[in-house]
Amino acid sequence: MAEPFENVIRAISSADEPLTAATMYRLSDINSEDLGKLQAAWGAIPVERRLVLVQRLGEIAEMNFDMNFSAVIRLALTDLNAELREAAIDATWIDESPDMLNRLLPLTRDMSDAVRASAVAALGRYILLGELGKFDAGLTRLAQNVARRLYADAAQPISVRRRALESLSNCSDPDVHSMIDESYAHSDAAMRISAMFAMGRSCDSVWAPIVLRELDSADPEMRYEAARTAGELELRDAVPALARIINDDDREVQEMAIWALGEIGGTRCQRLLEDLIEQAEADEDDGLVEAIEEALNAASLVGEGLIED
């Protein structure tokens, strides 16, 4: 027999008790009665504890698709604390329902810049689903219009406008090309980095010369996004530059370059990855070995039937 839900609430509320897996699992597919009890107690739970709880629930859902914390996440979306609302938005990524989109849309008008940025970023997955014909067309257009409005609003901070651009890059609207162009010419480095991200999502090789140039950027964030875009666009001309940055001093850049080689595929990419995995094994770098193995698997699939010099 499951323990009384009041005990679960006490465990959640007490900063002196660890948030055990058993406690958090009780919040999956929570019934309406227990949800009502949690809602009544929510405001009395310390903010820091609520924040940790929402973050942990998001992590569990990412690893275990059998867990459904949507009801609790929906509750957290209404929290008075902006940081907690932002964390709740980040935890909605697995919920692709129209109901969740309708809950996210008002948050694009939130008083907090960070919450607005997270909310418009979350719209990107619905825009992509709509582009693939897997989501209601009317709601997709609504999400696009909200993102377009935020991008065009010069009064919005860069943090919001750049996420709006990233979301819009998931659709085939021809105006997105000019938005990317405009953003790449922006004086703010963060906006230029988002423009690079959007280039990859656009699936348009017209951006190849810019991508190749930015693979040698002095900014590791730009190198990271350029590597991602090179992989998404499967730019074979990017292989020499990627061969350099698979030994990048920045670990995240290195791992993204490895991923990109896997996406591009073919014998040259496989050779580069095989050479690198030998060094990683010698260094007993298990994390890097795993990343290279995944890239090698992808490269072998992409490279089937591909003839190279």
The per-residue pLDDT for range 10-21, each reduced to its tens digit, is 999 988 888 898
- Tens digit of pLDDT for each residue in 157-189? 999 999 999 999 999 999 999 999 999 999 999
Token digits of residue 234 = 């499967």
pLDDT at 93 over 70: yes
Q: How large is the average pLDDT for residues 119-135?
A: 97
Q: How large is the average pLDDT for residues 270-296?
A: 96
Give me the pLDDT at residue 309, please. 47
pLDDT at 3 over 80: no
- Residues 58 and 189: their CA atoms lie apart, in Å, by 30
Mean pLDDT computed over every residue of the chain: 94
Give me the pLDDT at residue 15, please. 82
Q: How confident is the model at residue 94 (pLDDT cuts 50, 70, 90)?
A: confident
- Under 8 Å between Cβ of 129 and 161: no
Q: How large is the average pLDDT for residues 230-252?
A: 97
Architecture field, domain 210-309 = Alpha Horseshoe (1.25)
Residue type, 27: L
- Residues 165 and 121: their CA atoms lie apart, in Å, by 9
Residue 42 CA neighbour count, 13 Å, CB half: 22
Domain range annotation of the chain: 1-95, 96-203, 210-309
Q: How large is the average pLDDT for residues 127-148?
A: 97
Percent with pLDDT over 90 in the chain? 88
Q: Out of 70-84, 110-124, 126-140, 292-306, pick the least confident.
A: 292-306
- Tens digit of pLDDT for each residue in 27-82? 999 999 999 999 999 999 999 999 999 999 999 998 888 899 999 999 999 999 99
Q: Which of 250, 275, 270, 253 is nearest to 196 (CA)?
A: 253
Q: What is the pTM of this model?
A: 0.91
Element (H, E) at 141: helix 137-152
Q: How confident is the model at residue 267 (pLDDT cuts 50, 70, 90)?
A: very high
